[in-house]
Structure 1
């Protein structure tokens, strides 16, 4: 069955919300899940505006979380306007993008998964977060709706792609066969509750992009119309774009997002440390 419609973008009104941490869960040694909730997940009045309830339509929807600068007690926040935000320039808000891992409107709960690496404003906040803490967030501003009619889906990325991959796996109801390949540090970082994921472990002396690209080539179906979704570090995404071309996947059936960019340094150990730090800066996301 040929793809009858490509993936499409659905724009959503952007709303700034004040929520509170309900609980925290150690998913793996380096992944911490923060569950937040509050009245502002529902429709509410913001100043003189009536704003809509929280809404998420696709597995890779993301929100911006607003955090206090180091040494400050409160974050700088944007202003709520009708359907969008006004961002002040001086001082500018400190914002990081995180994928919605789970949203339950009935329970009033929203899950965000953080890679915890011991430094950086977002990593430090996630490491220390406890029930009752306040978190301001905004979005999602858009949803990418998967195509209709694909015979298979192929998802691939590093650990920063895991929240979206997990949501795709858990909510997948399409008739298309789903294949997922994820790169992590080692066995301890595998999320065993996600069925059917092919886990790839980093190896000294082999680039992340090469490891993941080889695994994706091995996992990809060789026939039928497919849709490919990839996300993670920019070099990984660039290499997987080449793999998609090798597999004959048309551009309109490929969704690729560079979530972060690894700094270029000499020592491998430093690359890893800086890679962890760079995970927080997800400004290269494309929607």
Structure 2
């Protein structure tokens, strides 16, 4: 019920913020919407990069309802904020894309690290972005993704700081959620993956890293936005970083033992 209420608030323009910490226990998804002519190659890109782009759902062309992931989900209005890319450039931000929809648009919903945050909290771990009521910190890296014909680029990661023992526990827990990016892709020195200033994220908000803590980095669903910038399709629509589609699917349905 909480997920449906949140989607209705987004649909009415009354919820436009980050979704981390909302609808605990339910999966959240990154969104990429492309014309059919570009969708097949993006599907290949996702299949070649399952850690950064774990597929939860792919729609039929022109179908705005995502019934597989929840009751009455309308992808044209149920995300708190959308980014519109034209020829690879961010051209517009909006809270509703009904005026931009046409009959051959294909929607991809990809797993999100927000989905495993509930499991980390239930295990007694503290998440700095939730404690600070801020968006998660996200960074461009020098980690390359496997290219498809048109889509390519470096991986974006999200970061959460932990004490070493808690970082080990976080690895154990998140490895059970491959559809939500799974285990971290890097731990420790940010410079090793091309992040020069940990206090200045490329997306989201900066959070403090306390003495004795180490940064832990997971693959992030903002990665396709860099691939879109390189592929330059005439139009592409994504979620705004940190502002996800909240589904009715439980995190446990996406977990592995």
TM-score of the superposed pair, with normalisation by structure 1? 0.29
**Larger proportion of helix:** 2
More strand by share: 1
Bigger radius of gyration among the two:
1
Per the normalisation by structure 2, the TM-score is 0.31
| Bigger relative contact order, structure 1 or 2 (CA pairs below 8 A, ≥6 apart) | 2
